Amino acid sequence: MSLSLPGPTPAAVGTAKIEWVRRRSPVLDGFVRERLGDGALDGVTIAVVVHLEAKTAFLATVLADAGADVVVAGSNPRTTRQDVVEALKERGMTVVAAADGDYESWHQEMLAAADYGPTYIVDDGAELTLRMARHRPELFARLKGVSEETTTGTARLQAIAETGKLPFPAMTANNARCKHLFDNVYGTGQTGIQAMLRLTNRQIAGTHLVVVGYGFVGRGTARYARALGAHTYVIETDPVRALEAHMDGHTVGSPADVLPTAEMVFTATGGVRAIGEEDLALLRHDVVLANVGHSDLEIDVEALRRAATSIVHPREAVETFRLGDRDVHLLSSGALVNIAGGSGHPVEIMDLSFAVQAVGTHYLATHELRPGVHVIPEELDNAIAVAKLRSLGISLTQTRANQKEDVKEMMDGGHHDE
């Protein structure tokens, strides 16, 4: 008779994952902890609403260790990890999220987080902020500030601010250089491709790969795809960015030019229906569609469902839609494939992004800012980069005067290069 020993509990698995994150998060675990150690967040209620996996859990832990009452929820029903939820609960944190929910249960979780009446929100896609504005206006009016993770959330907050309906200051973590130059480009670039390859088990070298949207996320995706041997094509509506894609060596074209031969397509526009109903007729047989933008609607999944004569699930998180004599494969139901179908950004990248989020929240708690959308000051952005460089064993010695002084010297000395 063989005895089977009980495996680790989900909470223990989640705790180990969070510790794995801590090991490679020197900025959050050092510089940020020190900065937040002044008691400014003591007893303050902070709702953390970001994709609920181990890296987010570590951010929540750092905020809780700084004295905040943290309420944690997920920013997408498909990206919450139950072992991490259990680990946070075991640690005594309030969590209003569960894995494997649907949009309705997720909406209820958001409202439950709102009902804690947070003073600050660390948001992603402005998901909680928008719901509070609509469904809990009395609590919304009491909010003192929001720190927002991503491009889409920033655009949403700016849109509210322009109508004069944002009663508090919002920090956009996304617009700090330590966020979008690394997270959007390298984080999504690496992990979007990685998730697509894992889910499909396909080869990338030699494939015709299309990226829709050549912003920070699109350029990272195209760069990593090309590094692995793909022939890269870009669809972009902004002429300057289209020109940039061309000069970076990608082939730029309209949907009609590049979709009919595409074998893999990534959407990265920050909008909706970047692959819309009218594009479905352009897709070739056996194409793989993946999204890395914030919204699950970047690929018009409803249009795909309407057009399909059958839908099968050949692999985990892969749905195959039969359109006439063609098969179109959709990954992770159109949710951000790198998080819903993978492990999300590398730990080292989120060490930077979440350092910006934590420092931004602390900044909101320690400064009187006018309502509207703000970015952390340049000195703080630089201080985060210095902390990261130091953790990598790199120190910058200022051997030259700064550029502004150089310019002044040139002007004073009359050296004008015409």
Ligand X SMILES: NC(=O)c1ccc[n+]([C@@H]2O[C@H](COP(=O)([O-])OP(=O)(O)OC[C@H]3O[C@@H](n4cnc5c(N)ncnc54)[C@H](O)[C@@H]3O)[C@@H](O)[C@H]2O)c1
> What H or E segment, with its residue span, contains residue 157?
helix 151-162
Q: Which of residues 153-192 bind ligand X (CB under 6 A)?
A: 180, 183-184, 188
Q: What is the Cα–Cα distance from 168 to 237, expressed in whole angstroms? A: 33
Helix and strand totals (H; E) in the chain: 19, 15
Three-state secondary structure string covering 19-71:
HHHHHCCHHHHHHHHHHHHHCCCCCCEEEEECCCCHHHHHHHHHHHHCCCEEE
254 scored as a contact of ligand X (CB under 6 A): no
Query: Which region among 7-15, 26-34, 290-298, 362-370 touches ligand X (by CB under 6 A)?
Result: 290-298
294 scored as a contact of ligand X (CB under 6 A): yes
Query: Which region among 41-49, 86-94, 291-299, 318-326 touches ligand X (by CB under 6 A)?
Result: 291-299
Query: Which region among 68-76, 107-115, 160-168, 333-341 touches ligand X (by CB under 6 A)?
Result: 333-341
DSSP one-letter string for 210-248: EEE--SHHHHHHHHHHHHTT-EEEEE-SSHHHHHHHHHT
Q: Which CB sits closer to ligand X, 25 or 184?
A: 184
293 scored as a contact of ligand X (CB under 6 A): yes
Q: Which of residues 30-49 bind ligand X (CB under 6 A)?
A: none
Half-sphere exposure of 229 (CA within 13 A, CB side): 6
Query: What residue number has its CB nearest to ligand X?
Result: 215
292 scored as a contact of ligand X (CB under 6 A): yes
212 scored as a contact of ligand X (CB under 6 A): yes
Q: How far is the CB of 134 from ligand X (least distance, A)?
A: 20
Q: Which of residues 356-395 bind ligand X (CB under 6 A)?
A: none
Backbone angles phi, psi at 165, to 5 degrees: -110, 15
118 scored as a contact of ligand X (CB under 6 A): no
CA distances from 138 to 48, 167, 354 (A): 20, 12, 29
Q: What is the Cα–Cα distance from 20 to 347, expressed in whole angstroms? A: 9
74 scored as a contact of ligand X (CB under 6 A): no
**CA-closest candidate to residue 219, choices 196, 193, 176, 186:** 186
Terminal CA-CA length for the chain: 89
- Applying CB under 6 A, among 178, 245, 288, 336 the residue interacting with ligand X is 336
- Applying CB under 6 A, among 237, 254, 366, 382 the residue interacting with ligand X is 237
Residue that is written with structure tokens 């720190």 in the block: 147
Q: How far is the CB of 314 from ligand X (least distance, A)?
A: 24
**CA-closest candidate to residue 250, choices 292, 281, 212:** 212
Query: Which region among 58-66, 110-118, 126-134, 209-217 touches ligand X (by CB under 6 A)?
Result: 209-217
216 scored as a contact of ligand X (CB under 6 A): yes
Q: How far is the CB of 111 from ligand X (least distance, A)?
A: 23
- Applying CB under 6 A, among 19, 38, 42, 238 the residue interacting with ligand X is 238
Q: Which CB sits closer to ligand X, 93 or 209?
A: 209
Using DSSP bridges, classify how beta strands 318-323 and 310-315 pair: parallel, antiparallel or unpaired: antiparallel
150 scored as a contact of ligand X (CB under 6 A): yes
- Site residues (vs ligand X, CB under 6 A): 150-152, 180, 183-184, 188, 212-218, 235-238, 241, 268-271, 274, 292-294, 336, 338-339, 345
